[in-house]
Structure 1
Amino acid sequence: MRLAPYLFLLPFIVLFIVFLVLPIVTAVWMSLFSVQRDGLGLGGSANELAFVWFDNYIRAFQNAGFIESFGRVLLFGIVQVPVMMVLAILLALLFDSAVVRMKPFFQLSVFLPYAVPSVVAALVWGFLYQPRVSPIVEGLRDLGIPVDFLAPGTVLWSIANVSIWTVTGVNVIIIFAALQTVPRDMYEAARLDGAGEFRTALQIKLPMVMPAVMLTILFSIIGTLQLFNEPMTMRSITSNITGDYTPNMAIFQATTLGGNINLGSAMAIILGLVTFALSILLSLVQNRRKGATA
């Protein structure tokens, strides 16, 4: 009986070690090495794995494309995350109110884009962005509004639109599920005090589900830093998306296309540390807010 809990935990522990701990340890270890090539390539050359300490990290920070990709996803997140969260909160509050009819249908409609793979979503939206085949572009052009969704200054926001369309639904479900746990007695007390739907939503519902909101914000920040599928898919239809457009794309370019797994490992560790630091920062802000409220 004493071993029973550990036996139940064993499958998770094994999978956790094999698919999370070991890859991280391997990436850290590989980032400290580099392939040294000797000879002139006339048959006598040899490739040796040499311990180079933090040279790969220095090379990663000297890689202008890799550093610029962080600034690009930071700008992406500053715009995309707030817009997506506002939409998710508004839709969740609407579904929890008495205003919306046919709630199951609209809930399914909002959640359905999340069931579409991000690659497929990027392909569909890429078709809608192309000037010569898109009905949206042609319709706006007929109205005298020339637009180019794939231009250098707009392609980032076109990717943001795909991301918002894809993941807003799951955030709505998380916040809406949190709203269902709020005691209905609080709503009745608010109505007796003369509070309307708007005031109840702003002063009671939203503060009560703030932990769920912070959780979705954390997931959104992590997803922003891991942005890969949408720009990688849309790269085939526009030359304004470079191979190192995002940090994950820069890592992919260094390892798969460049064949330098050691440099790619260092880049991956840097990306992981940045993600970890932002997660800790958000947790500290949330804890400080809880302390101030208390």
Structure 2
Amino acid sequence: MTVVTPDPAGGKTRQDTAAGPRRRSRLAPLVLAAPFALLLLCTVLVPIGYALYLSLFTERLSGLGFDGPHDVFVWLENYADVLGDAAFRESVGNVALYAVIHVPLMLGGALVLALLLDGATVRLRQVWSLAVFLPYAVPGVIAGLIWAYLYSPNIGPLNDVLPWDPLGSNGVLPSIVNMATWQWMGYNMIIFYTALRTVPRDVLEASTVDGAGPIRTALAIKVPMIRPTMFVALVFTVIGSLQLFTEPLVLRSFTTSVTSTWTPSLYVYEAAFISNDYGRAAAASLLLALASALLSALVMRLSARRSR
């Protein structure tokens, strides 16, 4: 049996007085999470829902066409058109080949640079880290224009140095990989270097006492201890590779090797803003988002399995 004691001062019971803090403690997490939930709803869920709605419709002329185009519900026809389009499949192949080259090259280079900066023999760490990180501070369009002029056959110095045409049909992919790697390697290097600074110093000292050299310490201790950070960087890099857009868009003005549908993002851009086919653009964007989600889930699953 619950005994309720009246409060002589205000007439409230002790049970009522204790219920207030408990109620506020339950509402506090909801209040703190409300801004994030609102931002997620407005910037992610609502746009995805609207894109899903657009992907189910297309514009068609009715009768003799005097009434103008009108929206027609076509169910999954836009998705079938996108998957059956040879240009879209070719764009997916270009991005897949780009990711196979760019992801290991960029992450591997960033890891090596971070390990060198974390080494005890490197001087002026802040200066070197700033120098490597500086390309990330350059806007993507400006960086693309700089590299485009460097690749230009008329005024660019690299065209005479490289054994292949950097803007040709066989050289444009390595050129784009070089542009993206140059811009993003410093960003990932800072992430890896920050993670390396959290490795316990006593563990590193113990490895030195046991006779392990710098390379053995880096491979056997440092790299395994920052593996979760490496997997997170891998997820972000894979997602960014699938969304490749700025570099090929800039190079389109300098070469015919990059078409308007060279990547899936360019395919969506061409469908929406050039062909005004918003249904096809929405379907292609949702397919790209689904591929990004599946690859991210696969990488995270491999990360969790490796951690266990």
Q: Same fold (TM over 0.5)?
A: yes
> Does the 8 A contact of 1:65 with 1:244 survive in 2?
yes
Q: Residue 38 in 1 paired to residue 62 in 2?
A: yes
2:15 aligned partner:
none
3-state SS of the aligned residue for 2:258? coil
Q: Whole-Å Cα distance in 2 between the matches of residues 232 and 113 of structure 1?
A: 19
Q: Distance in 2 between matches of 1:9 and 1:38?
A: 48
Partner of 1:66: 88
**Where does structure 2 lack aligned partners over 5 or more consecutive residues?**
1-23
Task: Measure, in 1, the Cα distance between the counterparts of 2:138 and 2:28.
Answer: 40
1:1-294 equivalence runs, <5 A: 1-2=24-25, 3-41=27-65, 44-138=66-160, 140=161, 146-291=163-308
TM-score by length of 1: 0.93
- Partner secondary structure for residue 259 of structure 2: coil
- Higher-Rg structure is 2
| Letter of the 2:239 counterpart | I
Report what 2:18 is aligned to: none
Number of equivalenced pairs: 284
Tell me if structure 1 keeps the 8 A contact 2:164–2:171.
no
Once residues 262 and 137 of structure 1 are traced to their aligned partners in structure 2, the CA distance between those partners, rounded to angstroms, is: 41
Specify the SS of the correspondent of 1:203: helix
Q: What's the RMSD between the two structures over aligned residues?
A: 1.2
Counterparts of 1:276 and 1:284 in 2: how far apart (Å)? 12
* Alpha-carbon distance in 1 for matches of 2:259, 2:199: 47
Aligned-partner Cα distance in 1 for 2:234–2:28: 37
Where 1:221 maps in the other structure, the secondary structure is helix
1:218 maps to a residue whose letter is V
3-state SS of 1:171 partner? helix
Measure the CA separation in 1 of the matches of 2:158 and 2:78.
46
1:25 alignment partner, SS class: helix
- Write the distance in 1 (CA, Å) between the matches of 2:87 and 2:118: 45
Q: Is the 8 A contact 1:92 1:173 kept in 2?
A: yes
**Deviation at 1:124?**
0.2
Give the secondary structure class of the aligned counterpart of 2:60: strand
Identity %: 40
Q: Which runs of 5+ in 1 are unaligned?
A: none
Shift of 1:146: 4.7
Counterpart secondary structure, 1:98 = coil
Deviates more, 1:3-12 or 1:196-205: 3-12
Between the aligned partners of 2:69 and 2:168, the Cα distance in structure 1 is 43
